[in-house]
A = this chain, B = another copy of it.
Amino acid sequence: MAYQNVLTPQAEDFPGWYQDVVAKAEMADNGPVRGTMVIRPYGYAIWERIQAEIDARIKEAGAQNAYFPLFIPQSYLSKEAEHIEGFSPELAVVTFAGGEELAEPVVVRPTSETVIGEFMAKWIQSYRDLPLLLNQWANVVRWELRPRLFLRSSEFLWQEGHTAHATFEDAAAYAMKIHTEVYDDVLNEVLAVPTFLGIKPPRERFAGAINTMTCEGMMRDGKALQMATSHELGQNFSKAFDIYYQNEEGQAALCYTTSWGSSTRLVGGLIMAHGDDNGLIIPPRLAPTQVVIIAVRDEVHVNEACERILASLKRAGVRAVLDRGRGSFGRRLTDWEIKGVPLRVEVGPRDLAEGVVTVVRRDTAAKVALAIDDVARQAPAMLEGMQSELFEGARDRRDANTCDVASVVEAIEVAQTGFARLSWDLVGDSEEAEMNNQAVTIRCLQRADGSIPSSDLENDLLCIVAKSY
């Protein structure tokens, strides 16, 4: 623990801790153009694992991947009035290309509703073509004046799903399916981040949406992070882009569309939901490296034992790497701690003389001595145990820091260190403004049982408020 002051302590300065850990764990760097981000191999490996988990569930839900252009004619964005209003201050515009000034400038996509709407109109003929379920993995650009790596960057990576349906009900059900069976499932089961599910109040909806669902996670400083959103777009985009289908009676009818997205912001959420003063803690199911075998010293029989453990872990389907005994053991240990690898297997000559190695859990620092051949036998269960406990720990922390309150004044007080939950009936425009003045925002509206309402007009809704990223 001699190296723990490598990072700013969380309690002292949480944003400082975040910046330190992103740099020291070699997750990302600032790009040369303001607000852009370089995702380094370790950060990208985590993103690839998140992608794989989300992508598999999206495919399971029946959507197909496709790819739409980066450049969008400026005129497209103005077809849906709220959409252009929502995005125009954030747009990056290409005015010069191929050696000359463009006759019509093109916008770098901030999201692809408009261009996808255009092609849906072309591809959808009859009710037989519905639902049309599309997803794309892409980069998008929203110019950012106060960037923070992973959390807010001028360019970010994401997936955006876009679907068209014959009925309002089918569209709403599909958005709900994605929100719970894709996003919330990955957050809970893989990222080990418990969430509050709900809908955004009208003012906070996506530009052009009639309803926006959100997954809100609590970070270790008690602030909220919006981790994924799913939108019912009603007929707003189908009206703007003429997305009609011929129904079974042979009449032209407007489609109902949805869109839903999750981004590299999830990496930031992962860092802030689990990390501690020694660095990242990556949940085992997500971790690109689940076990690191650390040779204490560079000696022949130490290396042999390490290789044997590595081979047996790989055979057991565990993602393991070997850190050969070059350079300071303490320094290497600190680096692996900062990177948040779930289990460390420390292999030293003294332990080996007794026929054992030391296995250490990153989150609890609990150590256990195991015979060499027991490492691969026990690692899968240890990893699964750590996965559950990380989730349970995060859920307990969240629940301990979420208070039911009876007034906006109390809500603001509670939101200094956690989440406040109060009746939505108590929050009018002036109350919302009062909270916003204190940087406290409405994170979501939910039913008393925690389920997702279909509209903000339902009776007896609760609202969760917090400071947020």
CB atoms of B106 and A33 under 8 A apart:
yes
CB atoms of A69 and B32 under 8 A apart:
yes
Q: Of B32, B64, B68, B88, which contacts A99 at CB under 8 A? A: B88
Of the stretches A71-79, A435-443, A444-452, the one at the interface is A71-79
Beta-carbon nearest neighbor of A114 in chain B? B32
Please give the distance in Å from A100's CB to the nearest CB on chain B.
Answer: 9
Kindly report how many copies of this chain are found in the complex they form together: 2
Residues in B with CB closer than 8 Å to A73 are: 32-33
Q: Give the size of the chain A interface in residues (CB under 8 angstroms).
A: 54
Q: Of B36, B65, B157, which contacts A48 at CB under 8 A? A: B65
Residue picked from A68, A88, A89, A138, most chain B C-beta under 10 Å: A68
In the assembled complex, the Cα of A172 lies from the Cα of B141 at a distance in Å of: 37
In the assembled complex, A44 has its CB within 8 A of some CB on chain B: yes
Contacts A66-B44, A134-B41 given; indicate if A96 touches B92 (C-beta within 8 A): yes
In the assembled complex, the Cα of A144 lies from the Cα of B33 at a distance in Å of: 25
In the assembled complex, A187 has its CB within 8 A of some CB on chain B: no
Residues in B with CB closer than 8 Å to A134 are: 41
CB atoms of A36 and B93 under 8 A apart:
no
CB atoms of B108 and A94 under 8 A apart:
yes
In the assembled complex, the Cα of A99 lies from the Cα of B38 at a distance in Å of: 24
In the assembled complex, A37 has its CB within 8 A of some CB on chain B: yes
In the assembled complex, A31 has its CB within 8 A of some CB on chain B: yes
In the assembled complex, A115 has its CB within 8 A of some CB on chain B: yes
In the assembled complex, the Cα of A90 lies from the Cα of B157 at a distance in Å of: 24
Beta-carbon nearest neighbor of A122 in chain B? B29
CB atoms of A98 and B145 under 8 A apart:
yes
In the assembled complex, the Cα of A144 lies from the Cα of B92 at a distance in Å of: 21
Beta-carbon nearest neighbor of A105 in chain B? B96
Please give the distance in Å from A10's CB to the nearest CB on chain B.
Answer: 27
Within 8 A of B (CB), among A1-47: 29, 31-33, 36-41, 44-45, 47
CB atoms of B36 and A70 under 8 A apart:
yes
Beta-carbon nearest neighbor of A90 in chain B? B98
Q: Which residues of A contact B (CB under 8 A)?
A: 29, 31-33, 36-41, 44-45, 47-48, 64-73, 76, 88-99, 105-106, 108, 115, 118-119, 122, 134, 138-139, 141, 143-145, 154-155, 157
Show 7 A/B contacts (Cβ-Cβ < 8 Å), sorted by A: A40-B66, A45-B64, A71-B141, A94-B108, A95-B96, A96-B105, A97-B154
Q: A91-B97, A92-B96 are in contact. List 19 more A-B contacts (CB 8 A).
A: A32-B69, A32-B72, A32-B73, A32-B115, A36-B70, A39-B67, A41-B65, A44-B65, A45-B65, A70-B70, A70-B155, A71-B141, A71-B155, A90-B98, A91-B98, A94-B94, A94-B108, A95-B96, A98-B143
